[in-house]
């Protein structure tokens, strides 16, 4: 039997295969971040479709950390009952789901949150006239507590684990990146200082959920922007975090501002364009002894199988292919090994921006035709 369909476990969380649904923004939550029936059905469809582990859409841990309209929230206890409905629906379909905990930092807007965006330090990435507030020591304490409280809510809501979002230029990623972090205090300068808030968040989250609850992190291998985080410093952080009690790392790369080298790259039309962080993943695997989940352009089961067989990654993570085909994993398991039908055109996010929730535009057009 293929290794892809072997049973495995991450800190006691048993998984039926090595396929992971990587978090995205679904654009399906209510205005206040509450779960909706549409979002519940989206998660349940992934579970019915055979995905081994679902990472829920990035959920903001504090009101000022909201990245996008109709984004899932986990910033108040009032949202827990809806989250419970969502996890119960996934579990009823035999699935596993973890919550991704996120804060957008400067990648939000005063119009959306009615507060100036929080910036790690002043930098050239924002227009000079843009409102902003540089993060203080008090803000850092409140952010750390926000992640901790959100993790506690995730446990109460029935999630099987949590993932700390430190990729793609969101707040924790901004602390790591020299392009964003020009601080002169204990949170700036050396890579150890820039990673300090990560250790504080990881410790606080672990204190909130206990040692037997899976805690994962999503990280950039490189930022792919000028003066951004590069591989060697990313590896240094990973070594330290792996030793700090994390249970798995999901490896990604790129920023929202990275252009063609963004996390969601286009024109993945051949196997050599898939797994575009595979070289960095190989470097990571040499440095850590906890499971590595690799995301980035997976489209073919042959590529996925080779990555696991060669020890480049322990788990294969996908997002856009599962927007078009939530039953892709069951299709592959049944022997239909055609590559994912995703066109990698990123059109799926357009309806989300219109308040309709993300879906595969190409598939819908084909159905209409």
Distance CA 352, CA 354 (A): 5
pLDDT band at 329 (very low <50, low <70, confident <90, very high): very high
Mean pLDDT over 257-268 rounds to 89
pLDDT of residue 53: 98
Distance CA 171, CA 108 (A): 10
Q: Which structure tokens are listed for 287?
A: 């440095």
Residues marked active site are found at 170
Provide the greatest CA pair distance for the chain.
59
For 221-358, where are the E strands, in sequence order? 248-252, 292-294, 315-318
Give the orientation angle of helix 231-242 with respect to helix 196-209, to 10 degrees: 30
- Residue spans per domain, the chain: 3-340
Distance CA 338, CA 345 (A): 19
The verdict on pTM exceeding 0.85 is: yes
Mean pLDDT over 266-282 rounds to 95
pLDDT of residue 124: 58
pLDDT of residue 126: 63
Kindly report which listed range (17-26, 51-60, 275-284, 358-367) carries the lowest average pLDDT score. 358-367
pLDDT band at 365 (very low <50, low <70, confident <90, very high): confident
pLDDT of residue 369: 62
Mean pLDDT for the chain overall: 95
Mean pLDDT over 9-27 rounds to 98
pLDDT band at 258 (very low <50, low <70, confident <90, very high): confident
Structurally, at CATH architecture level, domain 3-340 sits in: Alpha-Beta Barrel (3.20)
For 186-265, where are the E strands, in sequence order? 215-220, 248-252
Counting residues of the chain whose pLDDT is more than 70, the rounded percentage is: 98
Mean pLDDT over 277-286 rounds to 96
Counting residues of the chain whose pLDDT is more than 90, the rounded percentage is: 90
pLDDT band at 233 (very low <50, low <70, confident <90, very high): very high
Task: Report the candidate in 71, 97, 79 with the shortest Cα–Cα distance to residue 159.
Answer: 97
Per-residue pLDDT tens for 162-207? 999 999 999 999 999 999 999 999 999 999 999 999 999 999 999 9
pLDDT of residue 127: 61
Q: Which structure tokens are listed for 162?
A: 């949590």
Q: How many CB atoms within 10 Å of residue 98?
A: 25
Q: Which phi and psi angles does 143 have, rounded to 5°? A: -65, -45
pLDDT of residue 132: 85
Distance CA 82, CA 133 (A): 32
Q: What is each CA distance from 135 to 121, 202, 307, in whole angstroms?
A: 7, 19, 40
Q: Which structure tokens are listed for 227?
A: 């003066």
Strand duo 13-15 + 8-10: pairing: antiparallel
pLDDT of residue 190: 97
């Amino acid at each position: 039997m293929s290794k892809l369909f072997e049973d495995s476990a991450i800190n006691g969380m048993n998984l039926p295969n090595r396929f992971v649904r990587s978090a995205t923004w679904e654009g399906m939550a209510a205005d206040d971040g509450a779960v909706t029936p549409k979002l519940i059905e989206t998660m349940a469809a992934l579970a019915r479709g055979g995905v081994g582990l679902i990472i829920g859409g990035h959920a903001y841990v504090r009101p000022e950390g909201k990245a996008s309209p109709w984004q899932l929230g986990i910033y108040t206890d009032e949202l827990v009952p809806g989250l419970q409905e969502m996890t119960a629906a996934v579990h009823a379909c035999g699935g596993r789901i973890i919550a991704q905990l996120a804060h957008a930092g400067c990648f939000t807007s005063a119009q959306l949150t009615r507060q100036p965006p929080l910036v790690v330090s002043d930098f050239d990435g924002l227009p000079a006239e843009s409102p902003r507030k540089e993060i203080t020591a008090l803000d850092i304490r409140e952010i750390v507590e926000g992640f901790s409280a959100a993790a506690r809510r995730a446990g109460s809501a029935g999630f099987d684990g949590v993932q700390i979002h430190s990729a793609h230029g969101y707040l924790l990623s901004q602390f790591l990146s020299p392009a964003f972090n020009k601080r002169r205090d204990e949170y700036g300068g050396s890579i150890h200082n820039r990673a300090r808030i990560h250790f504080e968040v990881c410790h606080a989250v672990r204190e909130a959920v206990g040692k037997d609850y899976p805690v994962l992190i999503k990280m950039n291998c490189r930022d792919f922007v000028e003066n951004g985080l590069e591989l060697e410093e990313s590896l240094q952080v990973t070594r330290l975090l792996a030793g700090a009690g994390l249970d798995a790392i999901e490896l990604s790369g790129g920023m929202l501002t990275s252009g063609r080298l963004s996390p969601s790259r286009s024109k993945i039309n051949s196997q050599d364009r898939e797994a575009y962080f595979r070289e960095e993943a190989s470097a990571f695997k040499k440095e850590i002894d906890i499971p590595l989940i690799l995301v980035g352009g997976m489209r073919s089961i042959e590529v996925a199988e080779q990555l696991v067989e060669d020890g480049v990654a322990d788990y294969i993570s996908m997002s856009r292919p599962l927007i078009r085909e939530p039953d892709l994993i069951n299709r592959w398991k049944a022997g239909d090994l055609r590559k994912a039908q995703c066109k990698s055109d990123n059109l799926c996010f357009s309806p989300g921006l219109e308040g309709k929730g993300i879906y595969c535009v190409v598939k819908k057009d084909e159905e209409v035709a």
